[in-house]
Structure 1
């Protein structure tokens, strides 16, 4: 906050009428809490911190790829020390954030206060135990990007420079948190990647090995999408929902499988939109700017011209 003072060039105090603004903001908060049954909340902030989660993820990524994404002064002989020290700090910080999420979720559901420490430890321990497997998957993803892009000069360039690789690194970490009981933290991780890359992958999406997003800007992959192995997609591709069923009160129903299934060895070119719980058969090619709302058989080659002859 102290730095904000340097931005003002005024040489005298200005009356911003802040009393009125502060009171109005308090009224807005109280109204929201009343509308959402939060009037009994007290104490300090109970939600996880985006800043801390971002720091945790950056630390974990550095530990997973220490000589390429770790500190610039790291040497091979101290890799294990750095990885152990970094993960110990990161996982302890993550534990605090998982506890905040579990406590907040229980409060929001109206559950009686209880100790979620054991559950939080299990989530974080499982997350840490999965990191070697995630590193193995990411190595396959990086090789898929290197082999799939003739402009790539090295795997190091792919890891350091490609937004699609950044997005899949964040996604594989977020998906692990999502799968083991920390969906809010997972969403925070995925949105950090979305902000950095323009690639929006919901942490619930299941993505196989050797996944490559080329260029990447504008890609959207929904929560219940299932993507097989060795799939390649280009910029502005959407794997989305076709419709959103609502309950009797008009509220959208949640949890339904509503996004596409993409089988192994599929290529989806730029601007394609695939909606609904449809299946794209293995070894298929979906052309650029195609709008598709039906399943296609394996080894299909779908283009705008072919769709004009066969309604989707």
Structure 2
């Protein structure tokens, strides 16, 4: 095929051998599916859509904070109508995504999928009933950020601007879905926030009220971490695993407690790395750039200078 450009000059449309590429990609997909005993039969989507989950989360953010994260034209007198309409759309879409996850698990674990429809309905109903509690938790996070940052001029600024709050909105939603039995949807929700904020919180992590992540970039919180109330952490903090136990076949064992327990009122400054199933005691302060692999007593102050002096990053200067 050719087209004329400026008079009689003809430019031939380039060919990219699309048919051949399509055929080869189909062969690669077939090989992948057969190698993992996946179905190659015609049919609809078998896994959740990241785009659909992103839309659900956008709706849930608006429903949780309608006059701040809802549509710009919203007025208070129509607030309840907007919340109800938005929740109806979001929860019906979530029901479809939950059903896909349950069907996928049933198909590839060889279990029955007879009750998938009812299970999905029960999960979404339980999730919807948890939304007021999620809003209360998020209010405590917003207040903690406002009170903990002298640069914050209002709670509205915190909610609209702070990446740590966006990450926590996603986490509070994702953690609820994780506990209700939809870990893939929860993980997608968490990774959408991770992509936007640089804050990586596994949806399995348990986080108490009034959690404040200041700045946030590079923060990593592992799956089995437990964080108490009124904890504050700064950018580039890692609450990670020290080692990964394997079974007799060398396969990593999943689900074992391997991340830190951080008790109430702890402060962890930028760049600190806390590894393993250890406990950071209530009210402890962990200085920047230290490496912690053993328990820290309640009320302790751990600093890099003190760590170098004692030759052990888990010693404390009290």
TM bucket (normalised to shorter chain) is: over 0.9
Name the counterpart of 2:3: none
Q: Is 2:285–2:302's contact at 8 Å kept on the other side of the alignment?
A: yes
Gaps of 5+ in 1: 1-9
CA distance in 1, matches of 2:285, 2:145: 18
| Alignment correspondent of 2:250 | 250
Deviation, 1:66, is: 0.5
Instruction: Report the more deviating stretch, 245-254 or 84-93.
Output: 245-254
User: What does residue 165 of structure 2 align with?
Assistant: 165
2:103 aligns with 103
Give 2:14's aligned residue: 14
CA contact (8 A) 1:285 1:301 kept: yes
- Find out whether 1:260 has 2:260 as its counterpart: yes
Task: Give 1:16 deviation, angstroms.
Answer: 1.2
Q: Who wins on radius of gyration, i.e. which is larger? A: 2
Runs of 4+ with >4 A deviation? 39-42
Match of 1:182 in 2: 182
Q: Kindly provide the CA deviation profile for residues 12-69 of structure 1, in whole angstroms up to 9, marking residues without a partner as x.
A: 3222122332222122212211221114654221111111111111101101101111
Matched ranges for 1:201-240 at <5 A: 201-240=201-240
Instruction: Name the CA distance, whole Å, in 1 between partners of 2:77 and 2:159.
Output: 22
Give the CA deviation at 1:249. Answer: 2.1
2:299 is the counterpart of 1:292? no
**Residue 229 of structure 1 aligns to a residue in which SS?**
coil
3-state SS of paired residue (1:239): strand
Query: Within 5 Å, which residues of 2 pair with 1:46-195?
Result: 46-195=46-195
Q: Which residue of 2 aligns with 1:35?
A: 35
Q: Given the alignment of the two structures, is residue 282 of structure 1 paired with residue 305 of structure 2, yes or no?
A: no
Provide Cα deviations, 1:197-234, integer angstroms capped at 9, x if missing partner. Answer: 00000000000000000000000000000000000000
Judge which range, 223-232 or 31-40, deviates more.
31-40
Measure the CA separation in 2 of the matches of 1:11 and 1:88. Answer: 53
Of the structure 1 ranges 33-42 and 265-274, higher mean CA displacement relative to structure 2 is found in 33-42
1:110 Cα deviation from its structure 2 partner: 1.9
TM-score (norm 2): 0.92
CA distance in 2, matches of 1:310, 1:268: 20
Mark the CA change 1:77 to 1:196 in structure 2 (over 3 Å): closer, same or farther: same
Aligned pairs, how many? 303
- Work out the CA distance in 1 between the residues paired with 2:29 and 2:40: 13
Checking the alignment, whether the CA contact within 8 Å between 1:190 and 1:202 is kept in structure 2 is yes
Map Cα deviations across residues 115-141 of structure 1 (whole Å, 9 max, x no partner): 311111111011111111111111111
The two structures, once aligned, show a CA RMSD in angstroms of: 1.4
Write the distance in 2 (CA, Å) between the matches of 1:124 and 1:192: 20
Aligned to 1:274, the other structure's residue is in SS state strand
1:69-96 C-alpha deviation (Å, 9 max, x unpaired): 1111111111111111111111111101
Q: How far apart in 2 are the matches of 1:252 and 1:35?
A: 21
Counterpart contact for 1:30–1:39, Cα < 8 Å: no
- Decide whether aligned partners of structure 1 residues 11 and 158 sit closer, same or farther in structure 2, where only a CA change above 3 A counts: farther
Verify the 8 A CA contact 1:260 1:277 in the aligned structure 2.
Answer: yes
Contact 2:145 2:212 in 1 (8 A): yes
* Alignment TM-score, normalising by the size of structure 1: 0.94
CA distance in 2, matches of 1:209, 1:30: 48
